[in-house]
Chains A and B, each alone.
Chain A
């Protein structure tokens, strides 16, 4: 059912938080080698990147980032947020981004999951945010809309974001993983579904893909925790970014899907150590989620940039005094939109397509 996509419409953006990408890239080689890769090195990473041969790629490191955006702005891209620099400089329509500690997963039949092609299928088949289909993705093979699904809603809307999942190390927060130290996600849920309009969701940045042309700067490198570090347990930047994207998508009539594909997330780090280092992020969600749930974008906000600016202003106004991290996030969002206008190049001024 998917539209035929040319390989040169896709960039695979990898944020290198660790220096040795050899086994990561070699494991993904069958899936990645057709495409252009953008590898962005975490500006805080001191070691040289180790990258195996045979890929068509561009590597971006701190000196270049400083030149393009200015050294005061390149702080936006430290840690996991380095991948956003890749989103900024990409010139392709679709971006797929996977954490550098994730490997291809296997489905219950033992077949290797091609996360890239799954994401592309998700992005090129419609989303159905206005009414829940109980058989999940109606465009999947062997599926359809169920009885009672209004016909006028069956053509769906454009899917702008595809959120994949993770086997083995699930994306739990540190307290949860610390409490359930041995828990690993072994449940393969064979479904893709559209997250309904008006419903917010914590979007993990570990395994995502999006339509860059449509979403532009809607994914924002904004929320930087005081103790932010190099494990996902020490970050919430993607959660903030995802909430922003969902609010924008709901406003503009775009879809967000969640579910397949899975990646295999390798065991790494110690949740208790992470919790000791950075525990405030969990607390901040108590403010963040109600904030995003209450954001209302005005009708005049018809472009993604307008929407992001509205969210940023609302964040500054309503959360700015709660915690300085929010005032900084709001400012970062505005800086990001400006950056996008000057460097982002491909205009994303389309509203609902």
Chain B
């Protein structure tokens, strides 16, 4: 039912994770919305460079040296010279929720001209249930002014806990390199005023530019893979995390939403550079998608970590023959979980994925 109470700030329960190699000037524009929160900045690239953080923000910053120090040999699972390194931020966070945003993403305006508080919308999305078992044609039923449509069984109207809130982007759309090359001038100007749950059993391309998730529910699945320096592929970090995450969410009965909020994506990366990073991914994904579509997880995989390790085994068994990269990736997935568990020991007797969701709507 429509709720009149304001969205809680959750300022002590949410960390904002930002990967960066350049500077954080973009935070100035976000200041009204981000200042109450703790930031975890993961510095990609040359660790000797100093990243200037605007005054007044509470943050911790990690560069490659810090990552090596914290993880030791396990640091091998964290990508070097790629924004995939952001997942280190998820691992070291102690908060329940994570919001991650790219440093070329700014505050967008809604059709009425009002600035969009993206973080507030993500929090709303995460705090209210998802509905993965039956599609609601009026989209998010818990929104003001909406509801479940005729024919929607009442037994499914409570929904399930939301693990992921996937936001979108106005201006520069998140296209792959070939599409960018063909349509360099296309801009996303369509504001689609909807949030929806991605149905169970359906995969999607998860973009890490404007993403929030419940770290307690799904954190260990948000490994952004091996990308960048020394790796044969780039720009598939968030895709990889998204496919693993969706398979696990479907298995554990958690929800993934997409749609609002929008941010304004200002910078188009170089399509030729992108093509070089992506090209293996473009043909590998033809194998990856059928793989993820057919992954089944045994019933005894009751935690995210167990699910993730199981997926890593299947990656090795079925994708290792596509390219040796996947053997390395499978190993890195295991290393990631080991590192995660070391940095995030669970209280005895309580499995992380089975912790209650806390505040509901």
Interface size on B, residues (CB 8 A): 61
- Is the Cβ of B152 less than 8 Å from the Cβ of A202? yes
Of the listed stretches A98-106, A137-145, A307-315, A330-338, name the one at the interface; the rest are far from the partner chain: A137-145
User: B239 at interface (Cβ–Cβ under 8 A)?
Assistant: yes
Cβ-defined partner of A199 (8 Å) among B135, B186, B235: B135
List residues of A (79-133) whose CB comes within 8 Å of B's CBs.
108, 131-133
Interface of B is mostly: loop
User: B90 at interface (Cβ–Cβ under 8 A)?
Assistant: no
Known A146-B173, A258-B137: A132·B148 in contact at CB below 8 Å: no
User: B198 at interface (Cβ–Cβ under 8 A)?
Assistant: yes
Give per-residue flags for B122-156: 1 if the beta carbon is below 8 A from chain A beta carbons, else 0: 00000000000111111100010111111111111
- Is the Cβ of B137 less than 8 Å from the Cβ of A163? yes
List residues of A (182-218) whose CB comes within 8 Å of B's CBs.
183, 185-191, 195-204
Kindly list chain A residues whose C-beta atoms are within 8 Å of the C-beta of B187: 142
- Most A CB contacts (10 A, CB to CB) among B2, B133, B202 go to B202
- Is the Cβ of B137 less than 8 Å from the Cβ of A148? no
- Is the Cβ of A285 less than 8 Å from the Cβ of B153? yes
List residues of A (140-195) whose CB comes within 8 Å of B's CBs.
140, 142-153, 163, 165, 170-173, 176, 180, 183, 185-191, 195
Interface of A is mostly: loop
- Is the Cβ of A201 less than 8 Å from the Cβ of B190? no
User: A236 at interface (Cβ–Cβ under 8 A)?
Assistant: yes
Give per-residue flags for B317-333: 1 if the beta carbon is below 8 A from chain A beta carbons, else 0: 00000000000000000
User: A136 at interface (Cβ–Cβ under 8 A)?
Assistant: yes
Complex Cα distance, B149 from A150, in Å, reads: 32
Complex Cα distance, B188 from A145, in Å, reads: 12
- Is the Cβ of B193 less than 8 Å from the Cβ of A187? yes
Chain A residue with the shortest CB-CB distance to B111: A108
Cβ-defined partner of B149 (8 Å) among A149, A171, A189, A289: A171
Known A152-B286, A202-B149: A190·B191 in contact at CB below 8 Å: yes
Shortest beta-carbon distance, B48 to chain A, in Å? 32
Chain B residue with the shortest CB-CB distance to A145: B179
Known A132-B198, A165-B137, A190-B193: A286·B204 in contact at CB below 8 Å: no
- Is the Cβ of A150 less than 8 Å from the Cβ of B137? no
User: A233 at interface (Cβ–Cβ under 8 A)?
Assistant: yes
- Is the Cβ of A176 less than 8 Å from the Cβ of B147? yes
Chain A residue with the shortest CB-CB distance to B187: A142
- Is the Cβ of B194 less than 8 Å from the Cβ of A142? no
Cβ-defined partner of A289 (8 Å) among B139, B150, B153, B286: B153
Shortest beta-carbon distance, A250 to chain B, in Å? 11
- Is the Cβ of B147 less than 8 Å from the Cβ of A202? no
Complex Cα distance, B204 from A339, in Å, reads: 41
User: B189 at interface (Cβ–Cβ under 8 A)?
Assistant: yes
Kindly list chain B residues whose C-beta atoms are within 8 Å of the C-beta of A196: 135, 198-199, 201-202
Shortest beta-carbon distance, B246 to chain A, in Å? 9
User: B192 at interface (Cβ–Cβ under 8 A)?
Assistant: yes
User: B166 at interface (Cβ–Cβ under 8 A)?
Assistant: yes
User: B218 at interface (Cβ–Cβ under 8 A)?
Assistant: no
Give per-residue flags for B67-98: 1 if the beta carbon is below 8 A from chain A beta carbons, else 0: 00000000000000000000000000000000
User: A49 at interface (Cβ–Cβ under 8 A)?
Assistant: no
Known A144-B173, A202-B150: A132·B203 in contact at CB below 8 Å: yes
User: B285 at interface (Cβ–Cβ under 8 A)?
Assistant: yes
Kindly list chain A residues whose C-beta atoms are within 8 Å of the C-beta of B152: 173, 202, 285
User: A31 at interface (Cβ–Cβ under 8 A)?
Assistant: no
Shortest beta-carbon distance, B125 to chain A, in Å? 14
Kindly list chain B residues whose C-beta atoms are within 8 Å of the C-beta of A232: 150
User: B168 at interface (Cβ–Cβ under 8 A)?
Assistant: yes
User: B114 at interface (Cβ–Cβ under 8 A)?
Assistant: no
List residues of A (271-303) whose CB comes within 8 Å of B's CBs.
282, 285-286, 288-289, 293
Complex Cα distance, B99 from A88, in Å, reads: 53
Complex Cα distance, B282 from A147, in Å, reads: 9
Chain B residue with the shortest CB-CB distance to A138: B179
- Is the Cβ of B137 less than 8 Å from the Cβ of A147? no
Chain B residue with the shortest CB-CB distance to A239: B151
Complex Cα distance, B188 from A304, in Å, reads: 38
Kindly list chain A residues whose C-beta atoms are within 8 Å of the C-beta of B111: 108
User: A342 at interface (Cβ–Cβ under 8 A)?
Assistant: no
- Is the Cβ of B168 less than 8 Å from the Cβ of A135? yes
Kindly list chain B residues whose C-beta atoms are within 8 Å of the C-beta of A165: 137-138
- Is the Cβ of A134 less than 8 Å from the Cβ of B166? yes
User: B200 at interface (Cβ–Cβ under 8 A)?
Assistant: yes
User: B232 at interface (Cβ–Cβ under 8 A)?
Assistant: no
Cβ-defined partner of A148 (8 Å) among B148, B183, B202, B239: B239
Cβ-defined partner of A204 (8 Å) among B137, B192, B258, B285: B137
Kindly list chain A residues whose C-beta atoms are within 8 Å of the C-beta of B166: 134
Complex Cα distance, B150 from A195, in Å, reads: 17
Chain B residue with the shortest CB-CB distance to A283: B154
Complex Cα distance, B132 from A199, in Å, reads: 9
User: B289 at interface (Cβ–Cβ under 8 A)?
Assistant: yes
Known A143-B190, A195-B135, A202-B137: A187·B145 in contact at CB below 8 Å: yes
Shortest beta-carbon distance, A2 to chain B, in Å? 18
19 A-B contacts (beta carbon < 8 Å): A131-B204, A133-B205, A134-B166, A142-B190, A143-B173, A143-B188, A145-B175, A145-B179, A148-B176, A148-B205, A148-B206, A148-B238, A150-B285, A172-B148, A195-B199, A198-B201, A201-B135, A239-B151, A285-B152
- B-to-A contact residues, CB < 8 Å: 1-2, 111, 133-139, 143, 145-156, 166, 168, 173-176, 179, 183, 186-194, 198-207, 235-236, 238-239, 242, 258, 278, 282, 285-286, 289
- A-to-B contact residues, CB < 8 Å: 108, 131-136, 140, 142-153, 163, 165, 170-173, 176, 180, 183, 185-191, 195-204, 232-233, 236, 239, 242, 258, 282, 285-286, 288-289, 293
Task: Apart from A132-B203, A151-B285, A285-B154, list 9 A-B contacts with CB within 8 A.
Answer: A131-B289, A132-B202, A146-B173, A149-B176, A165-B138, A180-B1, A189-B139, A199-B202, A201-B134
8 shortest interchain CB distances as A-B pairs: A148-B205, A202-B151, A239-B151, A199-B199, A196-B202, A132-B204, A201-B135, A147-B176
